[in-house]
Amino acid sequence: MLDKISHQQAWLATCPKGLEALLADELSALGAEQIKQTVAAVHFSGPLALAYRACLWSRLANRVLLPLTRFELHSADDIYNQCMEVPWEEHLSAANSIVVDFIGTSRLIDHTTFGAQRVKDALVDRIRKVEGERPNVDLHNPDLRIQARLHKGVLTVSLDLSGESLHRRGYRSEQSRTSIKENLAAALLLRSGWPELSKQGCALLDPLCGDATILIEGAMLAADIAPGTARTEHHYGFLVWKQHESELWETLEKEAQKKKQDGLEALRLDICGYEANPRVVQLALQNIQNAGLDGHIRIAHKPLQQFGKPTAEKGLLLTSPPYFERPGEQRNLEPLYTKLGQVLQKNFDHWRAAVFTGNTELAREMDLSPSKQYKLFNGTVPCKLLIFDDLRSKSALIEQRLKTAPPKQELSEGAQMLLNRLKKNQRRLANWLKQSDIRCYRLYDADIPEYAVAVDLYGEALHVQEYAAPNTIPENLARQRFTEVRQALKAYRPGAQIFFKERRKQKGSNQYSKQMALNSKVFTVHESPAALEVNLSDYLDTGLFIDHRPVRNMIRQMAKGKRFLNLFCYTAAASIHAALGGAEKTLSIDMSNTYLDWARRNFELNGLSEKQNPLMRADCLEWLKRGIGEFDLIFLDPPTFSNSKKMQAVLDVQRDHPEMIRGAMQKLSLGGTLLFSNNFRKFKMDPDLSDEFVIRNITGQTFDPDFARNQRIHNVWRIEHLVK
């Protein structure tokens, strides 16, 4: 029996995907211990007072849960039997109304309604057995909510202390079409640096403020107001919980109300918003009044077209313009984004701007270069928060860069020829790059034989791999041509960072060795929904094989509900795509600690739990012989050759591929798919394998336009079991 929870107790706070790190920091500041992030949630421990504080003070959480039981599900009856063992009478009585929220499905439980029904049956039968009566179910306004979460065959049943979702502060009268949730608005303010700016006396402005959610959350943050103090009509679940400590709660609530009063008295910031729709202006004013912030936030009816210079010299402009993608809407919204960019460039020197949008194409209409960007979600829609610390146009920034660049040197004939080819290739790829929102791509690959380099772009940086010159080319001529490559690239992208490497065949552990680099350049790039770490300076490879981009997209599209295995996983980019595509689980195997640590950082960048997506250090050849597991989708991408001391045998992909494929197919479920890839240009598939499996060469489907002229860079096969 729990009695009074004054000791360390395990809790779980849920949040929107992408806010886990912020929520973990927030809980830590509240005094939480043993903090562990998972997808859309944070585990933590502490006394009951901490859980109450989280309900009262968290700006980011949706719910605070008290786990009651956790068990593996072997049959549908396990739900009822195990939940009957929970001492429900210690938490509620027959007089309370309840509702059960069931999340997740499996082969045993394919409908959440059935799962919720079984939990409910066990709960009410247990209470009836103890009290002679049973609680009623109230789907709309229950006294207590029970959450049951089924994940990877394990069911966790928890008591929901928060009642209604904590994002519902209680001040919003109704929701406008472009509203964002209160906890997302708080996250945007935190990511934009508003807490620090508010302490400096800066202003806060939203020129497209809608119902004023961002402004209200900004004022509460600046005044250190607990968001839970506004929930006057939204009761907490713990208020009717049998183990509720009312005196403790009243003490914490009075403390928060006193801080609110003190904070409002000290609040002297300029916080204002503008809205073009008169009806929405009235809605915003009502919300501000509901939050007790009238007199601290100004709202005016003004369209963006009439927007001028702000009265404050410095501040934060944070806004969430519409970005809907219904037919015809994007074109209608382009003028709005263009005007927003013009307003920022013209009137907001010394200000920081932050724009939250789910449409990066529309964001480009602002003609601004973000200094930072964060990947967040608005519901299920992937979005970006773009931070602008320099509000000059892209062309102005380039012009400034040119002014500060060294005097332009006259290009040699060869360098000019190479420069012309780079520009021609850029024009050829321009439409595809814009439509596909691709930032990492190959621009040039020895198109002119004399200049045998591969040029890849990673955002604004250039990564150049020099092919080793043939023995017939004198060393002095090779050096001269490489100098001309440098000249052409500097003329192509003045001021850009350029990283040069010579690419040679590697032996053993050399492929993992660091290169001589004075300035390491590690940063995050985005590929479709995935955020991935690349290192352009320290290793021969960057951490992302961009020629495999279509294969990763294919994996993401195939992965929903599948068990995914990634062999020779490298930095696990394919596993990231599988997980983001909805894979039930992923397993990534490699023998390099360097790459596995890199993969671990990639999972963290995307808010993906390693518990759901384990990483294993192993020799893949040995694991295929002895490893255990069944998978629905497997990616097998071995190196062409490896004699690493970490491996028990030398790997030769041409010689060893039949054994590897047969081993992988033993791990593949019936109806599953193996994608086998390698980059050996002379590779030939063993014809005997066609007698055992369905094998299709899909190499031609795995090249985007940037690799269209060099389709020998990799080979890909789709392999499935024969249907008997």
Which phi and psi (to 5°) does residue 122 adopt?
-65, -45
Calculate ∠ Cα 399-403-407, nearest 5°: 130
Residues 515 and 465 sit within 8 Å (Cβ to Cβ)? no
* pLDDT at position 327: 47
Six token digits for residue 82: 């195990």
Q: Which tops the pLDDT comparison, 716 or 151? A: 716
Distance between CA 431 and CA 441 in Å, rounded? 13
Percent of the chain residues past pLDDT 70, beyond the cut: 92
Stretch 540-559: mean pLDDT, rounded?
Answer: 95
Residue 538 DSSP one-character state: S
Stretch 475-499: mean pLDDT, rounded?
Answer: 88
Distance between CA 573 and CA 35 in Å, rounded? 27
pLDDT digits (tens, 9 = 90+) for 122-142: 999 999 999 999 999 999 899
Q: Is the pLDDT of residue 518 over 80?
A: no
Is the full-model pTM beyond 0.95? no
Concatenate the DSSP letters of all residues of 294-348 into one string. BTTBEEEE--GGG----SSSSEEEEE------STTHHHHHHHHHHHHHHHHHHH-
* pLDDT at position 173: 82
Concatenate the DSSP letters of all residues of 483-524 into one string. HHHHHHHHHHSTT--EEEEEE----GGGGGSPP--SS--EEE
Percent of the chain that is helix, strand, coil (3-state, to 5): 35, 25, 40
Distance between CA 114 and CA 100 in Å, rounded? 11
* pLDDT at position 648: 63
Residues 566 and 572 sit within 8 Å (Cβ to Cβ)? yes
| All residues at 6 or more sequence positions from 422 whose CB lies less than 8 Å from its CB, including other chains | 443, 444, 455, 488, 489, 492
Within 10 angstroms of residue 546's Cβ, the number of other Cβ atoms is 22
The packing angle between helices 593-605 and 573-580, to 10°, is: 30
Cα–Cα nearest to 514, from 533, 498, 532, 501: 501
Three-state secondary structure along 78-119?
HHHHHHHCCCHHHCCCCCCEEEEEEECCCCCCCCHHHHHHHH
CATH architecture label of 182-230+254-396: 3-Layer(aba) Sandwich (3.40)
Within 10 angstroms of residue 536's Cβ, the number of other Cβ atoms is 22
Q: Is the pLDDT of residue 407 over 70?
A: no
* pLDDT at position 403: 65
Rg (CA), the chain: 29
CB-count burial class (<10 Å; 0-12, 13-18, 19+) for 286: middle
Stretch 50-75: mean pLDDT, rounded?
Answer: 96
The pLDDT-based confidence of 515 (bands split at 50, 70, 90) is very low
Side-chain-side CA neighbours of residue 373 (13 Å): 20
The type of residue at 394 is: K
Helix (H, G, I), strand (E, B) or coil at 582: coil
Stretch 217-222: mean pLDDT, rounded?
Answer: 97
* pLDDT at position 459: 87
Helix (H, G, I), strand (E, B) or coil at 9: strand
Fold matches, 182-230+254-396 and 524-721? yes
The pLDDT-based confidence of 5 (bands split at 50, 70, 90) is low
In this structure, the dihedral spanned by the alpha carbons of residues 239, 245, 248 and 250, taken in order and rounded to 10 degrees, is 30
- Return mean pLDDT, the chain: 90
Distance between CA 539 and CA 122 in Å, rounded? 58
Regarding the domain delimited by 9-160, which CATH topology (the fold level of the hierarchy) does it fall under?
VC0802-like (3.30.2130)
Enclosing H/E stretch for 33: strand 33-38
CB-count burial class (<10 Å; 0-12, 13-18, 19+) for 280: buried
Q: Is the pLDDT of residue 195 over 90?
A: yes
In this structure, the dihedral spanned by the alpha carbons of residues 544, 546, 547 and 548, taken in order and rounded to 10 degrees, is 60
* pLDDT at position 539: 82
Stretch 425-448: mean pLDDT, rounded?
Answer: 92
Helix (H, G, I), strand (E, B) or coil at 391: coil
Residues 187 and 239 sit within 8 Å (Cβ to Cβ)? no
Side-chain-side CA neighbours of residue 96 (13 Å): 23
Lowest mean pLDDT among 120-124, 243-247, 442-446, 510-514: 510-514
* pLDDT at position 520: 58
pLDDT digits (tens, 9 = 90+) for 342-396: 999 999 989 999 999 998 888 989 999 999 999 999 988 899 999 999 988 877 7
Regarding the domain delimited by 524-721, which CATH topology (the fold level of the hierarchy) does it fall under?
Rossmann fold (3.40.50)
The type of residue at 475 is: E
Enclosing H/E stretch for 10: strand 9-14
CB-count burial class (<10 Å; 0-12, 13-18, 19+) for 275: buried
The type of residue at 463 is: H
Q: Is the pLDDT of residue 505 over 60?
A: no
Each domain of the chain, given as residue ranges in start order, spans 9-160, 182-230+254-396, 405-504, 524-721
Cα–Cα nearest to 96, from 238, 275, 299: 238
The type of residue at 360 is: T
Length of the chain (residues) = 724
Q: Is the pLDDT of residue 158 over 70?
A: yes
Residue 612, sorted as left (phi over 0), alpha (psi -120 to 50) or beta, turns out to be alpha
* Cα separations in angstroms, 570 against 499, 604, 620: 21, 16, 12
Cα–Cα nearest to 546, from 451, 456, 452: 456
Side-chain-side CA neighbours of residue 311 (13 Å): 6
* pLDDT at position 509: 40
* pLDDT at position 645: 59
The pLDDT-based confidence of 323 (bands split at 50, 70, 90) is confident
Distance between CA 596 and CA 600 in Å, rounded? 6
In this structure, the dihedral spanned by the alpha carbons of residues 299, 300, 304 and 307, taken in order and rounded to 10 degrees, is -100
* pLDDT at position 231: 80
The type of residue at 501 is: K
Calculate ∠ Cα 235-241-245, nearest 5°: 90
Q: Is the pLDDT of residue 627 over 50?
A: yes
* pLDDT at position 332: 80
Stretch 294-300: mean pLDDT, rounded?
Answer: 95
Q: Most distant CA pair in the chain: distance in Å? A: 96
Options 3.20.20.140, 3.30.750.80, 3.40.47.10, 3.40.50.620; CATH of 405-504: 3.30.750.80
Distance between CA 579 and CA 562 in Å, rounded? 9
pLDDT digits (tens, 9 = 90+) for 78-118: 999 999 999 999 999 999 999 999 999 888 898 999 999 99
* pLDDT at position 513: 40
Where are any strands of DSSP class E within 391-506?
A: 440-445, 453-458, 461-467, 498-503
- Beta strand 154-160 with 144-151: parallel, antiparallel or unpaired? antiparallel
Distance between CA 14 and CA 38 in Å, rounded? 9
| All residues at 6 or more sequence positions from 683 whose CB lies less than 8 Å from its CB, including other chains | 653, 654, 657, 715
Cα–Cα nearest to 98, from 159, 163, 67, 142: 142
Residue 227, sorted as left (phi over 0), alpha (psi -120 to 50) or beta, turns out to be alpha
Six token digits for residue 559: 């992965």
pLDDT digits (tens, 9 = 90+) for 559-589: 999 999 999 999 999 999 999 999 999 999 9
Q: Is the pLDDT of residue 224 over 90?
A: yes
Give how far the C-alpha of residue 638 lies from the chain's centroid of Cα atoms, to the nearest Å: 28
